[in-house]
Structure 1
Amino acid sequence: MRRIGIVKESAPGERRVAITPDSVAHLRAAGLEVLVETRAGEAAFFPDSMYGQAGAEIVDADELYARADIVACVDRPPAARLRPGTFVVGLLRPDPAYLAELAARGVTAASLDRVPRTISAAQPMDAVTSQENVAGYRAAVVAAHAYERFFPLLVTAAGTARPAKVLVLGAGVAGLAAIGTARRLGAVVTGYDVRPAAREEIASLGANVLDLHGEGGEGEGGYARAQTDEQQQAEQDELAAQIGRQDVVITTARVPGRRPPLLVTEAAVKQLRPGSVIVDLAAGPLGGNVEGSRPDETVVTGDGVTVIGAGNLPATMPAAASTAYAHNVRAFLGHVLRDGELALDPADEIQRAVIVAGLPGGAA
């Protein structure tokens, strides 16, 4: 019987876990023995006792890496800990150096951030979408918390409070989740995206659609296409005028593997009123959508504008994010396992996209 090991995440601030206790029975039914590293789910409110009750064996890290044939993770594990022949599944963000390490150790790796969104059969495995949905919801809640006024229209004996004006830039999964949540919180919401189809989705949620003259379009896999420098500059100039009229701005525009587009310049930030809030979901090592935002930091400008660099919001909702992610991992394993054994096939379109190292006969 193959063994799957669920590791305890070690990245700073990462509280998610790859498999939740309610998924253990499904993995056992698929022919796997389940090993869980001690305290792997504790930060997501899944104690070891819940895994034990579900039929998993609790082990330390050394034993897990020594015995597991499959390693399930959120962030990528150190390649040096993976023994030859291991099959690792996670959000690996593969780069050439890490792939070279995996290849040198004879490890096969599947990166769920490579799931092709255009294949309907792959949708249950789409971890990026599940985590972006959590991030968009959380972004609206974080913004409402940081904005020290009311989001909805309130009429009271003490007077009337006008609703907050919220602008969401980017209407992918995270953007649409942010729009829907901000609307449910009572704000007046406007959305913007360069893709015509995304504008229709903004309108379908009851939000206003911001129409700029800059050109953009749809890229591969349902993401926004990267814009030219001229297109970005024209977009920034028009956006700056719109941003100054808002109370809250949430930015969600990312291009996989590349620096996010700069949408909110320092000059645009200065146009916001004191007490306004910006949440930058694209903030990361390569930069963000907002000039001056810093990953995982909150900065209050000299003009009293709060800028939140929120690059990993799913980790701040670990129970919900882990539950969704565990379903993605289960779905992918169901696609590559037959009677508990790996059945890797380079002709399979999903496997070819997701398996980034060690696919027999593949390009990886």
Structure 2
Amino acid sequence: MAKIGALRESAAGERRVSVTPETVKKFIGLGAEVAVEAGAGEGASIADAAFAEAGARVATRAEVISGADILLGVQGPDPASLSGVKPGAWLAAALNPFGERARVDAYAAAGIEALAMEFMPRITRAQSMDILSSQSNLSGYKAVLDAAGEYGRAFPMMMTAAGTVSAARLFVMGVGVAGLQAIATGRRLGAQVSATDVRSATREQIQSLGAKPIFVENVAGIEGEGSGGYATEMSAEYQKAQAELVSSHIARQDIVITTALIPGRPAPRLISDAQIATMRPGSVIVDLAVEAGGNVEGAVPGEVVVRHGVKIVGHRNVPSRLAADASALFARNHFNFLSAFWDKEKGVPVLDEEIGDAIRLTKDGKVVNPRLLG
């Protein structure tokens, strides 16, 4: 019988949890034994009693770790907090391999098989396991709500006897999962929405949501379409043309939401201080990439700052601001991942090469992932 342990998150401000009563029941249905660290669900409004009722054993951290075959987390735990872990035990979480390389090395030294859930390949059969998609979806939604809270004006057009209130103008930069959800949410709130991306394939997606696409036309050297649907760096010519287009467009916007990320690299700079200065006072920019260096000049992680009368929102860990829903989706990603490879005869999951090699960072005391060795 496989023993699965869910750890209480220790990262500052992290309110999510890696399992829910729903997934506990499903894991037990597979034949696993589940232990949950006491208090793990508090930030997501899940009481220990709910885990116990679902069939989990609520225990201390040491008891959860002891004998566990698989440890589940949201963010990668401090290796020093995993004393007593069984050699060869799996650790599945968002491990930030590029930003926390020393921690990855420590997992290897401890004999842990570390599985980075954010390295899940973007293939059809892995969609239900993809934490980046599930969490980014909530980030895009929350970004619009955060913008609305800071904006100080109405989003939809309102016609009253006292006069008409114009609809807010919302511009989304970066049309991945978060960007698409931001577009949809802005439209639902009644804003006039426009969007841009370096990948030309997103034009139809933008239009399908009722927003206006803003694209550089007839410029050679675009390198925007990367592997797995991610964006890559743009050519110098494209960067110049995009900066000119964005500058003229952004000056007329009330709200801008930036979502651009390139895996393994600092977030690309999309908005300069000079461009911010062209926006009218009271406008709002939400930088969803602030923790990766930021898309917006002057954005500060964890703060709302004002530059040229424009509010720049740089909240950290946006999915955790919707902890209950984010936990439910993250937990299902975990279950979908492990259950897809569950060997009923052995009573444990057995990874295949395609997904296993993509997400496995460490094994047998060594760092083995090609993306960290190249």
Please tell me whether residue 338 in structure 1 is matched to residue 343 in structure 2.
Answer: yes
- Number of aligned residues: 360
Matched, 1:38 2:38: yes
Unaligned regions of 5+ residues in structure 2, if any? 370-374
Q: CA deviation at 1:257?
A: 1.1
The letter for the 1-side match of 2:287 is D
Equivalence map 1:108-257=2 (5 Å) = 108-117=113-122, 119-213=123-217, 215-257=222-264
SS at match of 2:205: helix
SS in structure 2 of the partner of residue 89 of structure 1: strand
Q: Which residue of 1 aligns with 2:296?
A: 290
Q: Match for residue 300 of structure 1?
A: 306
Could you tell me how far apart the structure 2 residues matched to 1:85 and 1:77 are?
A: 16
Give how far 1:276 is off.
0.3
The worse-fitting range, judged by mean Cα deviation, of 40-49 and 306-315 is: 306-315
- CA offset digits 1:290-340 (Å, max 9, x no partner): 000011211022x32110013421010001111111110001111333136
Partner of 1:55: 55
Q: Which AA in structure 2 matches 1:100?
A: D
Letter in 2 for 1:69: D
CA distance in 2, matches of 1:359, 1:242: 53
**Pair 1:343–1:50, CA change in 2 (3 A):** closer
CA distance in 1, matches of 2:365, 2:311: 50
Structure 1: gaps (5+ residues): none
TM-score, normalization by structure 1: 0.94
The worse-fitting range, judged by mean Cα deviation, of 179-188 and 350-359 is 350-359
CA contact (8 A) 2:108 2:367 kept: no
Equivalent residues of 1:75, 1:91 under 8 A apart: yes
Percent identity between the aligned chains?
43
In 2: Cα distance, 1:241 partner to 1:99 partner: 44
Q: Is the Cα–Cα contact under 8 Å of residues 104 and 367 in structure 2 kept in the other structure? A: no
Partner of 2:105: 100
1:216: how far off? 4.1
- CA shift, 1:22, in A, is 1.2
Choose the corresponding residue for 1:86, options 89, 109, 121.
Answer: 89
Q: Is the CA contact 2:118–2:132 (under 8 Å) kept in the aligned structure 1?
A: yes
Per the alignment, residue 66 of structure 2 pairs with 66
Return 29-38 or 274-283, whichever deviates more: 29-38
| Equivalent position of 2:331 in the other structure | 326
Q: Which stretch of structure 1 is more off in the superposition, 323-332 or 90-99?
A: 90-99
Q: Is the 8 A contact 1:240 1:265 kept in 2?
A: no
Q: What is the Cα deviation at residue 79 of structure 1?
A: 1.8
Contact 2:257 2:287 in 1 (8 A): yes
Whether contact under 8 Å (2:37, 2:61) holds in the other structure is yes
Detail structure 1 runs of 4+ shifted over 6 Å in the superposition. Answer: 359-362
Alpha-carbon distance between aligned partners in 1 of 2:132 and 2:261, rounded to the nearest angstrom? 12
Shift of 1:217: 2.2
CA–CA distance in 1 between the matches of 2:255 and 2:196? 14
Report deviation, 1:116.
0.9
Seen in structure 2, the aligned counterparts of structure 1 residues 282 and 361 have a Cα distance that, compared at 3 Å, is closer
SS state of the match for residue 74, structure 1? Answer: strand
The one-letter amino acid paired with 2:224 is G
What SS does structure 1 have at the residue aligned with 2:13?
Answer: coil
Deviations 1:218-257 (A, max 9, x none): 1011011122455334322321121110000000000011
Report what 1:275 is aligned to.
Answer: 282
* Matched-pair contact (CA < 8 Å) for 1:27–1:34: yes
Cα distance in 2 between the residues matched to 1:85 and 1:313: 33
Cα distance in 1, alignment partners of residues 295 and 11 from structure 2: 23
> How much has 1:57 moved relative to structure 2?
0.9
Contact kept in structure 2, 1:190 and 1:207, CA below 8 Å: yes
Matched to 1:190, the amino acid is S
For residues 145 and 173 of structure 2, the distance between their equivalents in structure 1, rounded to whole angstroms, comes to 16
What is the one-letter code of the residue matched to 1:175? G
- Which amino acid is 1:91 matched to? A
Equivalence for 1:350: 355
**Cα deviations by residue, 1:10-66 (Å, 9 ceiling, x for unpaired):** 111111111111111101011211111111011101111111111111111122122
Q: Amino acid of the residue matched to residue 145 of structure 1?
A: G
* TM-score calculated relative to the size of structure 2: 0.92
Matched residue, 2:372: none
